[in-house]
């Protein structure tokens, strides 16, 4: 009895399912539902059919914000929409549902279900007619063939310029570097985006202003699912997962650094998407500008700065070295001159060619005597380079420099300038007596 009941239950269940036959020769299946939209399909794949991917497409006859497309592996799917992370939803066409699309799409991989049965289900709160098709393929197909506004790569649409969305259906404003954009909302919603791939190794600063005192809403999308502000009841439930909201007014512009906020499913292109919506019926303007700061340029500038600093330090060291060498040269030259003068003085003293003592007295009267107790024991005479204390009779010039008496007398007869500072000693002698002596 139990077996018969099970068979009846199986037949009833089976009778409610539409079989999708996929074979080696018939790899495409389609059907038109003209009754209830709540249907379950069983994907039946022939043993000889060996296709890696199966694309399920549904086209609604009218827009329905309650319609959803699901699949289940080994058992019919449950119609639960408790989404924790939108980017990780499995078994559900999240784009078609949350964007209230006429078209719904799911791409299945044979590796996911292998020999297990695959159930495909549609669900709606309203009576809805639709076309459904299943295509077995060797390549990963993209939804709606990317609406001919992009290229399909690895099952994802790489949208052309000015288009966004999982199937490139939504037109959007392209925000360029260093070019201000003015959007006139006119009681409409405008989409815009920044392409990170064109700004590699750069940080971006976005500035948004408006002339609206009532305010304009700016939404930054967190995933590739397009947030549609008109569908408040549907989108509000998943608002925190879909977008990050900001308000802009004429007195409160917004400036922030852009980062890649796209979900992990966006591997083939990296775009940050925005939505602008005005709050009043009066036409509003939104001014958008973006500055890009190239990190490589910053590093280059830093490197150049370091090079300039190092070169400047090296230049200063080189200049100081040259000045030191010049100073050392003149100091050595001065020492050599002093040594030469000393040698000459000593030679004159040795040969008894210096002036008679009467002339010495006349000169010494003009040179005050300094007591030896007024000097340090370590001080030396600049002419003979000997200690002052070695000869106690010391004389001072009018320029206040100190010398041994004998050294200074010998010096004066060959040079009338101070040996230390080269100042004129202003020594006056009786030239007539000097000539007689000679």
Q: Are residues 99 and 190 in the same domain?
A: no
pLDDT of residue 434: 46
What would the two tokens of residue 54 be? Answer: 């199966």
Domain contains 306: no
Instruction: Return the axis-axis angle of helices 357-364 and 405-412, rounded to nearest 10°.
Output: 100
What torsion do the CA atoms of 91, 92, 95, 96 make, to the nearest 10 degrees?
A: 140
Domain holding 263, by residue range, is: 163-296
Q: Is residue 6 predicted with pLDDT exceeding 70?
A: no
Q: Are residues 186 and 106 in the same domain?
A: no
Single out the residue of 66, 14, 62 nearest to residue 40, CA to CA: 14
What's the angle, vertex CA 347, arms to CA 342 and CA 351, rounded to 5?
150
What would the two tokens of residue 249 be? Answer: 């007014």
Domain contains 401: yes
Give the model's confidence band at 103: pLDDT under 50 very low, under 70 low, under 90 confident, else very high. very high
Report the alpha-carbon distance of residue 15 to residue 79 in Å, rounded.
Answer: 21
pLDDT of residue 300: 46
Task: Tell me the pLDDT tens digit for each residue of 129-138.
Answer: 899 999 999 9
Domain contains 77: yes
Task: Tell me the pLDDT tens digit for each residue of 203-228.
Answer: 677 888 888 778 888 888 888 888 88
Q: Which of 15-19, 48-52, 196-200, 233-237 has the lowest mean pLDDT?
A: 196-200
Q: Are residues 215 and 284 in the same domain?
A: yes
- CATH (domain of 378): 3.30.40.10
Q: Are residues 198 and 81 in the same domain?
A: no
Q: Domains in the chain: how many in total?
A: 3
- CATH (domain of 247): 2.60.120.380
Domain boundary among 279, 296, 313: 296
Domain boundary among 271, 296, 321: 296
Give the model's confidence band at 267: pLDDT under 50 very low, under 70 low, under 90 confident, else very high. very low
Higher pLDDT, residue 169 or 409: 169
Query: Which residues on neighbouring strands pair with residue 19, listed in sequence order?
Result: 42
Q: Are residues 171 and 248 in the same domain?
A: yes
pLDDT of residue 133: 94
If you average pLDDT over every residue of the chain, what do you get? 79
For the chain, give the percent of residues with pLDDT over 70: 80
Q: Are residues 202 and 109 in the same domain?
A: no
In a 13 Å sphere around the CA of 317, the CA atoms on its Cβ side amount to 6
Q: Are residues 9 and 124 in the same domain?
A: yes
pLDDT of residue 297: 43
What mean pLDDT do residues 222-241 have?
80
Domain contains 122: yes
Q: What are the DSSP calls for 267-310, one per residue?
A: -S--EEEEEEEESSSS--EEEEEEEEEEHHHHHHHHHHHHHHHH
pLDDT of residue 392: 80
Q: Are residues 124 and 206 in the same domain?
A: no
């Amino acid at each position: 009895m139990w077996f018969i009941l099970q068979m009846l239950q199986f037949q009833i269940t089976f009778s409610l399912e539409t079989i999708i036959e996929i074979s080696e020769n018939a790899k495409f299946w389609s059907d038109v539902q003209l009754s209830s939209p709540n249907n379950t399909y069983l994907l039946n794949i022939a043993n000889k059919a060996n296709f890696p991917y199966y694309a399920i497409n549904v086209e609604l006859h009218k827009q329905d914000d309650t319609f959803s497309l699901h699949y289940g592996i080994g058992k019919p799917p449950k119609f639960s929409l408790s989404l924790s992370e939108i980017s990780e939803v499995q078994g559900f066409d999240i784009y078609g549902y949350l964007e209230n699309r006429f078209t719904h799409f799911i791409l299945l991989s044979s590796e996911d279900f292998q020999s297990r049965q695959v159930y495909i289900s549609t669900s709606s709160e309203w009576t809805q007619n639709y076309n459904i098709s299943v295509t077995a393929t060797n390549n990963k197909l993209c939804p709606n063939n990317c609406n001919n506004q992009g290229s399909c790569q690895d099952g994802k649409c790489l949208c052309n310029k000015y288009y966004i969305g999982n199937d490139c259906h939504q037109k959007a404003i392209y925000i360029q570097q260093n070019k201000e954009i003015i959007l006139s909302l006119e009681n409409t919603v405008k989409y815009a985006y920044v392409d990170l791939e064109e700004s590699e190794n750069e940080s971006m600063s976005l500035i948004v202003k408006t002339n609206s005192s009532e305010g304009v809403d700016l939404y930054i999308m967190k995933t590739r699912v397009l947030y549609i502000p008109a569908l408040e009841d549907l989108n509000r439930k998943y608002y925190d997962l879909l977008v990050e909201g900001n308000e802009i007014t004429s007195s409160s512009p917004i400036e922030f650094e852009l980062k890649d906020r796209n979900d992990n499913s966006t591997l083939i292109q990296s775009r940050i998407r925005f939505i602008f919506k005005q709050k009043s019926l009066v036409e509003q303007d939104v001014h958008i500008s973006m500055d890009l700061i190239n990190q490589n340029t910053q590093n280059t500038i830093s490197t150049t700065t370091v090079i300039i600093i190092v070169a400047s330090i090296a230049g200063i060291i080189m200049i100081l070295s040259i000045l030191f060498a010049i100073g050392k040269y003149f100091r050595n030259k001065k020492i050599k001159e002093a040594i030469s003068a000393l040698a000459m003085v000593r030679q004159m003293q040795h040969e008894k060619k210096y002036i008679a003592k009467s002339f010495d007295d006349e000169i010494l009267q003009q040179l005050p005597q300094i007591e030896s107790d007024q000097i340090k024991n370590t001080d030396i005479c600049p002419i003979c380079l000997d200690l002052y204390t070695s000869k106690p009779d010391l004389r001072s010039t009018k320029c206040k420099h100190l010398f041994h008496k004998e050294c200074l007398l010998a010096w004066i007869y060959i040079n009338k300038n101070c040996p230390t500072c080269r100042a004129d000693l202003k020594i006056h002698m009786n030239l007539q007596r000097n000539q007689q002596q000679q």
